[in-house]
């Protein structure tokens, strides 16, 4: 194998791009929605199809990993590159988010190309991700007879429900996770021209805030002005948590100057944010106030009110309600002390209750872990070289404002290995929302990057990877 071969492999992959898109389309037609038990058979059917296809590509020991009460993972490997070659684990997930059909312009399970984008649930999250690796492997097999590295593929069936059994799979099948470097393909690119390397995630915490004052609803005409209104009190106390822009004002992080400056290199213009987040005409993104959008979105905590018990229009009546409740979703900054943030928010909500109402704050759900990673060493230099060849530029270090449980799990268990988090999503993808799509130009470049990445890692060798 030489880096020279990689050019021929990349040319082969490019020449077979249409076949790769066709293969992707066939996977996308299977509604493998993991949160819906009525689709469990579809998840298994898709897993079996992938298992068979990986065997056909030439990988060995292509199999389903199973556990009681869990949807399967697909695993396969190719260990023919010898003990001096690095072993690369490639992770993706085959399951899908559910769809609300009424908001889709096309059938979510019938892949439809419009312009440069392929629309279907899962097109970018995450079928395009792992199919881009299979396409690269196919071309390595066709041109060189073998990939240049040892490989393990692991395609999970429960990522979209939070990877509840991934650690059990790691414990039950440890041999399927032995590797020198891991490529976790389920992440985003800042634009169709700029590849992303994800290096941070925010964590998640949910708090239920209750303001209570009456045993029974009271007549607002009789008692208004002398009896506290829990709804009003709750609104006023929640307002303590936000600044004049509506951002959480607790737990602001001071991040390293270099990171704060690098955040300005991420092309998150007002136009990109407005279109990606579907802002209505006349509404613009929040002002920077001395911080880049990327810092606000990835490195600072944020709060959203995700439910309340405020009276709905159907419940309208002239009454002071007994109590009011709001559930707050708190995105915890990477490396932030979650307990300290919890205490700060609780203190702000419960000190001097408005109107003397009774305020309680209760944490609900399970916390999601954040993650902050420093990508350095030969594997990342190799990745940058591969991306320069495929995309014409190296990867931009980006964060994710959300919480991806599998990343936190890999980070905790394998954080001492190089973890390369890439993917085929971009700001227009609307993963999890209606009209999910993948940009085919990104898909093409992702396949080429995968081809070159294996060559670059192989050229380092196992020893060079550890240097």
| Residue ranges that bind Zn ion, judged by CB under 5 A | 125-126, 186
Distance of closest approach, residue 115 Cβ to Zn ion, in angstroms: 23
Count other Cβ atoms within 10 Å, centred on residue 392.
11
3-state secondary structure of 12: helix
In the bound complex, what is the minimum distance in angstroms from residue 186's beta carbon to Zn ion? Answer: 4
Other Cβ atoms within 10 Å of 275 Cβ, number: 12
Those residues with Cβ within 8 angstroms of residue 93's Cβ, 6 or more apart along the chain or in another chain: 126, 130, 155, 156, 157, 158, 159, 160, 186, 406
Q: Which is nearer to Zn ion, 292 or 438 (CB)?
A: 438
Q: Minimum distance from CB of 247 to Zn ion (Å)? A: 27
Pairing of strands 302-308, 117-119: unpaired
Q: How far is the CB of 11 from Zn ion (least distance, A)?
A: 30
Nearer to Zn ion (CB atom), residue 140 or residue 371: 371
Joined tokens for residue 333 = 């900054």
Is 430 in contact with 56 (CB distance < 8 Å)? Answer: no
* Cβ pair 318, 356 in contact under 8 A: no
Burial of residue 4 (number of CB atoms within 10 Å: 0-12, 13-18, 19+): exposed
Nearest to Zn ion of 123, 205 (CB atom): 123
Residue closer to Zn ion by CB (options 97, 327) is 97
Q: Least distance from C-beta 165 to Zn ion, angstroms?
A: 16
The least distance separating Zn ion from the CB of residue 431, rounded to whole angstroms, comes to 7
Q: For 146, phi and psi rounded to 5 degrees?
A: -170, 155
Compute the least distance from the CB of residue 230 to Zn ion, in Å: 40
CB of 423 to Zn ion, least distance (A): 8
Q: By the 8 A CB rule, do 95 and 33 touch?
A: yes
Cβ nearer to Zn ion, comparing 130 with 177: 130
Scored b (16 or more CB within 10 A) or e, 62-90 reads bbbbeeeebbbbbbbbbeebeeebbbbbb
28: helix, strand or coil: helix
Q: Could you give the CA distance from residue 78 to residue 30 in angstroms, rounded to a whole number?
A: 27
Cβ closest to Zn ion, residue 125 vs residue 369: 125
Least CB distance to Zn ion at residue 93 (A): 6
**Residue 125 or 436 having the CB closest to Zn ion:** 125
**Is the distance from CB of 118 to CB of 438 less than 8 angstroms?**
yes
CB atoms within 10 A of CB 397: 20
Closer to Zn ion at the Cβ: 77 or 125?
Answer: 125
Instruction: Provide φ and ψ at 193, rounded to 5°.
Output: -105, -10
Q: Which residue's CB is nearer to Zn ion, number 95 or number 259? A: 95
CB closer to Zn ion out of 96 and 241: 96
Residue 280 has what DSSP assignment?
P
CA atoms within 13 A on the CB side of 464: 14
Tell me how far, at minimum, the Cβ of 68 lies from Zn ion, in Å. Answer: 24
């Amino acid at each position: 194998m030489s880096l020279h071969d990689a050019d021929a492999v990349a040319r082969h992959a490019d020449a077979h791009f249409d076949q790769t898109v066709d293969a992707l389309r066939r996977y996308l037609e299977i509604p493998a929605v993991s949160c819906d038990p009525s689709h469990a058979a579809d998840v298994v059917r898709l897993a079996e199809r992938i298992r068979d296809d990986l065997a056909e590509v030439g990988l060995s020991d292509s199999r389903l990993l199973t556990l009681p009460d869990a949807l399967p993972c697909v695993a396969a490997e190719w260990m023919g590159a010898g003990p001096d070659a690095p072993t690369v684990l490639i992770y993706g997930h085959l399951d899908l988010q559910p769809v609300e059909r009424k908001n889709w312009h096309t059938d979510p399970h019938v892949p439809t190309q419009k312009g440069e984008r392929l629309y279907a649930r899962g097109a970018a999250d995450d079928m395009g991700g792992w199919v881009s690796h299979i396409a690269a492997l196919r071309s390595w097999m066709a041109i060189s007879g073998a990939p240049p590295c040892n490989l393990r593929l692991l395609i999970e069936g429960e990522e979209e429900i939070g990877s509840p059994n991934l650690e059990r799979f790691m414990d039950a099948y440890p041999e399927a996770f032995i590797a020198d470097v891991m490529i976790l393909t389920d992440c985003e690119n800042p634009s169709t021209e700029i590849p992303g390397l994800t290096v941070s995630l925010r964590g998640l915490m949910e708090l239920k805030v209750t303001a209570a004052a009456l045993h029974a609803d009271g007549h607002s005409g009789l008692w208004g002005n002398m009896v506290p209104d829990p709804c009003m009190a709750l609104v006023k106390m929640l307002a303590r948590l936000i600044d004049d822009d509506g951002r959480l004002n607790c737990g602001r992080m001071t991040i390293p100057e270099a990171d704060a400056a690098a955040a300005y290199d991420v092309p998150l213009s007002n136009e990109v944010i407005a279109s990606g987040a579907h802002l209505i005409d006349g509404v613009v993104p929040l002002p920077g106030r001395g911080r880049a959008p990327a810092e606000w979105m990835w490195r600072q905590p944020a709060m959203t009110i995700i439910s309340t018990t405020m009276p709905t229009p159907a419940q309208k009546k002239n009454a002071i309600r007994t109590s009011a409740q709001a559930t707050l979703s708190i995105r915890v900054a990477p490396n932030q002390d979650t307990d300290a943030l919890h205490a700060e928010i609780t203190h702000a909500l419960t000190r001097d209750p408005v109107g003397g109402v009774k305020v309680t704050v209760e944490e609900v759900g399970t916390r999601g872990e954040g993650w902050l990673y420093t990508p350095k060493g030969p594997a990342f230099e190799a990745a940058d070289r591969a991306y320069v060849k495929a995309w014409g530029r190296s990867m931009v270090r980006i964060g994710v404002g959300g919480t991806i449980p599998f990343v936190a799990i890999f980070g905790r268990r394998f954080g001492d290995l190089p973890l390369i988090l890439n993917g085929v999503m971009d700001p227009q993808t609307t993963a999890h929302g209606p009209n999910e799509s993948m940009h085919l130009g990104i898909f093409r470049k992702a396949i080429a990057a995968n081809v070159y990445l294996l060559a670059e890692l192989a050229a380092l060798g196992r020893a060079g990877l550890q240097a």
